[in-house]
Structure 1
Amino acid sequence: MDAKSEVILRHDHWQGRILLVNPPQDQLFQSLQNVGATQISVWTWNFADHSFFNNHLESTFDVQPKADDYDQIIIFIPKAKALLDYILAQCIRLLGIGKSIYLVGEKKAGIERSAKQLQSFGKTIKLDSARHCQLWQLVIDKLPTEKASHLETWIKRYPISINDETLQICALPGVFSQDHLDVGTAQLLPYLKHVKSGSVLDFGCGAGIISAVLAKQDSSRKMTAVDIDAFALCSTELTFAENQLSEQLTTLAITDIQDISDQFDVVVSNPPFHQGIKTNYQASENLCKFAKQRLRPQGELWIVANRFLNYPSLIEAQFAQCVQKADSRGFKVLYAQS
């Protein structure tokens, strides 16, 4: 059992219809049912978590929770402060005045800082501090504004320019580099003009920067943007719509490149290596190991990655060669052909 769930189970006042927001993959839901909860639902934007919970109970994989009559909501804090603000706006309006939201998280993940974000909406109480975690309660006495409940309010927009073209990027809270072009992607962008035409898989699409540039450069390209995160997939869709490119885009929620069955002419990625506050290289290492299986003959792999990561050797093991196109500002641009 996750430590955060253990802290929740130290208390016995859980009852009625409970929504778990961003919970870890464990058996907390079963334990809550044993102590008085009549119905447990989950809202998550992590597709791996959704796949786990969907086998046991009602799970919503989306950027918004399912509207329902909940008695209590328990939020496991996300990494991004702005994302928690958005989640609170959604959840507080679902519950209404007088009901309680509970916030749980690890101390090293910033639970004390996160708890301060509750204070605008009512009285906050620290219920527990154990297992290197804290549990807080908010008794709601003030609702967020109606505007705060609209997704559009939370979109950050910024322009990027490449090859005399300007694109408007749209990104939601919690999405990597929500309000600026990240260094790694910036190193890759000049090389996208060399990418062959055809069908392209953007692995770990984020806000859709790489996909949108490739689509803008060649209107015949068909882009498949994949990510584990619902906010990233939605951001990519918003970016394509903002730049009138939507007809070229397909989005797909995945946990790993092995979830994909189609083949492509190009696989391109600024691969992620964080899940929440933890570093996790498995998905990006699997990309290097299995990308060749997702490529048609003469297909191309383009990756930008931190210099310290050992991706070249993983790529060479599959493709027999890995060409380093650039090494700048701590990032390498890598290329291989099937």
Structure 2
Amino acid sequence: MNDHYYSVKPQSASDRRVFETTLRDVRLRLMSDAGVFSRDGVDYGSRALIEHMEFPADAKVLDIGCGYGPIGLVAARLAPQGHVKLIDINERAVELARLNAEANGISNVSFAQSDLYEAVREDSFDIILSNPPIRAGKAVVHRVFSEAFERLNPGGELWIVIQNKQGAPSARAKLEEIFGEEEVAEVAKDKGFRIYKAKKTKSA
């Protein structure tokens, strides 16, 4: 009962499955497993974020809470001259993301198992993407936001997706507190999901 998609080592028996999907005109063959987020297919929130996220082709990108990799792998296709780092606390998810990159011939990526930003403390990024782990609690989600600010380069952006009923208004308020009210934009509304973009224009 304590086995969540944000567990470090999922205890549920492995039950891998493979499916094909098209995300942002990118055809992917993805492997998922028990004990990871949205194992039966890419969730609607992630799809919404993927459809709306925008960044330069040479961007240095971080996908935090990557799961088996759909957001980060599409980001790597959108930034062919850039690089995407995919991190997750769940070791099974990170291994799946690595396998999915290999299966789809995506090479401008790297991976790490990481409790929030622990594995990238010395790194900085132009773009941070996240479908945050709502079930892990508001405190964890707000750390995703606040520590993203610390990891972003000047002018860098945090893109997140969050459901209205799961705290989108409070998430926006927290982002405005961290980044500044004028630097947070609602990029899209999609079936109860909100896509927010927060730009780093001030120093910590």
- TM-score when scaled to structure 1? 0.53
State the match for 1:316 in structure 2. 176
State the match for 1:189 in structure 2. 50
SS in 2 for 1:170: strand
Q: Distance in 1 between matches of 2:37 and 2:188?
A: 22
Question: Is residue 2:155 matched to residue 1:294?
Answer: no
State the match for 1:219 in structure 2. 80
State the match for 1:115 in structure 2. none
State the match for 1:251 in structure 2. 111
Letter of the structure 2 residue corresponding to residue 270 of structure 1: N
Q: Is the 8 A contact 2:59 2:79 kept in 1?
A: no
SS in 1 for 2:28: strand
Q: Distance in 1 between matches of 2:138 and 2:113?
A: 18
State the match for 1:239 in structure 2. 100
Q: Distance in 2 between matches of 1:169 and 1:333?
A: 24
Q: Deviation at 1:155?
A: 2.3
Question: Is residue 2:41 matched to residue 1:180?
Answer: yes
Letter of the structure 2 residue corresponding to residue 316 of structure 1: E
Which structure: larger Rg? 1
After superposition, residues 135-154 of structure 1 pair within 5 angstroms as: 154=15
SS in 2 for 1:290: helix
SS in 2 for 1:175: coil
Q: 2:120 aligns with which of 260, 270, 276?
A: 260
Query: Cα deviations across residues 292-332 of structure 1 (Å, max 9, x unaligned)?
Result: 11000111110001213111111111111310011222210
Q: Deviation at 1:259?
A: 5.5
Letter of the structure 1 residue corresponding to residue 82 of structure 2: R
SS in 2 for 1:173: coil
SS in 2 for 1:333: strand
- TM-score when scaled to structure 2? 0.84
Number of equivalent positions: 191
Q: Distance in 2 between matches of 1:249 and 1:203?
A: 13
Q: Is the 8 A contact 2:24 2:50 kept in 1?
A: no
Q: Distance in 2 between matches of 1:256 and 1:295?
A: 14
SS in 1 for 2:35: coil
Q: Distance in 2 between matches of 1:238 and 1:267?
A: 22
Q: 1:303 aligns with which of 131, 135, 160?
A: 160
After superposition, residues 88-127 of structure 1 pair within 5 angstroms as: none
Query: Cα deviations across residues 47-92 of structure 1 (Å, max 9, x unaligned)?
Result: 4xxxxxxxxxxxxx6x8xxxxxxxxxxxxxx5xxxx3x43xxxxxx
Higher relative contact order (CA 8 A, sep 6+): 2
Question: Is residue 2:146 matched to residue 1:284?
Answer: no
CA 163–226 in structure 1, closer or farther in 2 if over 3 Å, else same: closer
Q: Structure 1 runs of 4+ off > 4 angstroms?
A: none
Q: Deviation at 1:208?
A: 0.3
State the match for 2:59 in structure 1. 198
Query: Cα deviations across residues 92-116 of structure 1 (Å, max 9, x unaligned)?
Result: xxxxxxxxxxxxxxxxxxxxxxxxx
Letter of the structure 2 residue corresponding to residue 252 of structure 1: A
Letter of the structure 2 residue corresponding to residue 238 of structure 1: L
Q: Deviation at 1:273?
A: 2.4
Report the RMSD for the aligned CA atoms in angstroms: 2.2
Q: Deviation at 1:257?
A: 2.8
Question: Is residue 2:187 matched to residue 1:325?
Answer: yes
Q: Distance in 2 between matches of 1:211 and 1:241?
A: 13
After superposition, residues 55-94 of structure 1 pair within 5 angstroms as: 83=12, 85-86=13-14
Query: Cα deviations across residues 264-298 of structure 1 (Å, max 9, x unaligned)?
Result: 01100001123xxxx52322210112211100011
Letter of the structure 2 residue corresponding to residue 302 of structure 1: W
Report % sequence identity.
Answer: 26
